[in-house]
A and B are shown apart, each in its own frame.
Chain A
Amino acid sequence: MTDVSANDAADERLGKESLGARLMKRPELGAIAGVVLVTIFFLVTADPAMFTLSGVINFMTPAAQLGILAIGAAMLMIGGEFDLSIGSMVAFAGLFFAAMTVTFGLPLILAIPMTFVFAAMVGSLNGFIVIKSGLPSFIVTLAFLFILRGLSLVGLKYATGGSTQLRGVRDATENDPLAPFFSGDAFGGLFRWLAANDYVETFKNGTPKVPGIPVEIIWFVIIALVATWVLLRTPAGNWIFAAGGDTNAATNSGVPVRRVKISLFMVTAACAAMVAIITVMDAGSTDSRRGFQKEFEAIIAAVIGGCLLTGGYGSAIGAFFGSIIFGMVVIGLTYTDFDQDWFQVFLGGMLLLAVLFNNAIRKRVTGER
């Protein structure tokens, strides 16, 4: 495109765009700036242990669990819809998964795909109602927030004979060949080798302090990369932006808006199922409070990541960094002298800042005055 600028002398009113102005147009800029700020904050205030390998793994684990949800939520928000039921979906999919493995004794190779399909079906029901009724997704999925949470409770009591916790998932899945992909730590061998060669910190007996990278972090990175690729490089990504930007214009241009939106609801629910499978296998049990209020945290991470509440703008990479900010703040405060409950204040403040920032960005991008 270099020769283009040579012919470009036509309009003298178009000022040269500075690098700063160009960067301002990236939706994920705010989240990256946020990560830098939060890092500086904790470098100053927190125990240096926070930024050792084990400290980083410590805050990346909750960041990853939230992030998988937040990336789904971000894609859905770009597509112009909300899903407030994803937190409850985690509990509901967790119940389904635990029931499949414990109650019915199915192997993971069946239980995992079935959980995904089941969650996607519930997601498509959400989407179908929103599309058919034309109601705001906010209210429809708010209904499902309660429906799914209630069903999880009722279902758990039914499956266990009165308890709100279903145990025995670890025993049921421990020796399954698929288990290492969804629970525990990856690259254990590499870390043992690093420890043996003194590249990483070890305990006195020579085992590494960090036994490996928790699988959710690996999934988090993979999902963020795939989502970014879909959004930026595939026709489906273009359709998502179009569907969220202006449903009417998108439809008139031949974008299958309904299909796009329903698929996005299914993807979001599948992300919730992913978190459910990982956390249930990790804990070895499921309970009805799993995923409680995660829908709000996921939406906050997506908004910090640059998503507009009105749709049509945002990025998966932004949600990735938004979730990391979240993890850093939740865990980071324990490394400082601050009261941990500052976390909520911090989160609300970040959300407010992010919304104001995004609004200003949108005006810049659209040239609105």
Chain B
Amino acid sequence: MTEPIARNGAEPIVRMRDIEKHFGNIIALAGVSFDVRPGECHCLLGDNGAGKSTFIKTMSGVHKPTKGEILFEGRTMDFSSPRDAMEAGIATVFQDLAMIPLMSVTRNFFMGREPTVGRGPFKRMDVERMNEITMAQMREMGINLRAPDQAVGTLSGGERQTVAIARAVHFGAKVLILDEPTSALGVRQTSNVLATIDKVRRQGVGVVFISHNVRHALAVGDRFTVLNRGKTLGTATRGEITPEELQDMMAGGQEMATLEGSLGGTV
């Protein structure tokens, strides 16, 4: 557990320092430090109740930290709403994905940010361009839509996740926060989403991948930070740590080892 060396010497896009968040007398975060650099996938691991959700909500502007500071591209930021964070370039794909099943992929893709042509009362959506962009972006991510007017409801969970990720990247996300993107997916769909994460990373986006599944994290992660009881236990770079060590840290060590022994090492 050493402080990792910056990948390619790049400065972090977002750096969170000693973040604390209290809800009344409940301390949800008790000093968390975390950063993400362009083109890396930084996994945030932790069991249920470790504070993962509170932490990403702080990062995406939903919550204000009680203590600590957030630096975005070197400057101190004070996000007062998710909109602020989004405009700065921090996009969050929450588990509900912000997708509407009855609407077409194109309409979902551009929801709230429709490109227009024409003026005054004749201002209208540039439907052709919207369709073209959607088809192209989906193809790039490896999803072949039958038609851009295909309803999102007809896509699989993994495909929806990919649409949400592609949408965030298309609208200029520099940091992409993914909240347990693989937790409800099957094996095949999970690997598709992990492949999508890899593609996004190659485009220079910093990815924050929240998960409690060590295997999924190790498949794409460059660095791993473990959160336990509102505190960061440390950060490791790829190759420095084994799945077993990560698993133990997430669960708080000893008791998990005992449990794992009794289950024959399958957890």
Contact = CB atoms under 8 A, between A and B. Distances in A.
Given A234-B123, A234-B124, A234-B125, A11 B144 contact: yes
Contacts of A8: 144, 146
A366 B151 contact: yes
Interface in B120-135: 123-125, 127, 131-132, 135
Interface string A232-250: 0111011101100110111
Interface residues of chain B: helix, strand, loop or mixed (majority): loop
A11 B192 CA distance: 14
Interface residues of B, number: 36
Contact of B96 (A14, A25, A249): A249
Given A235-B114, A238-B107, A312-B103, A252 B154 contact: no
A142 interface: no
A242 B101 CA distance: 10
A257 to B, nearest CB: 10
Interface string B144-164: 101110010111000000000
A113 B212 CA distance: 60
Interface string A354-369: 0000000010011110
B246 to A, nearest CB: 31
B102 interface: yes
B88 interface: no
A366 B153 contact: yes
B143 to A, nearest CB: 8
A205 interface: no
A159 B147 CA distance: 59
Interface in B217-250: none
Contact of B100 (A233, A235, A250, A254): A250
B103 A254 contact: no
Contacts of B75: none
Interface string B73-105: 000000000110010000000101111111100
A122 interface: no
Contacts of A135: none
B56 to A, nearest CB: 14
Interface of B: 82-83, 86, 94, 96-103, 107, 110-114, 116, 123-125, 127, 131-132, 135, 139, 142, 144, 146-148, 151, 153-155
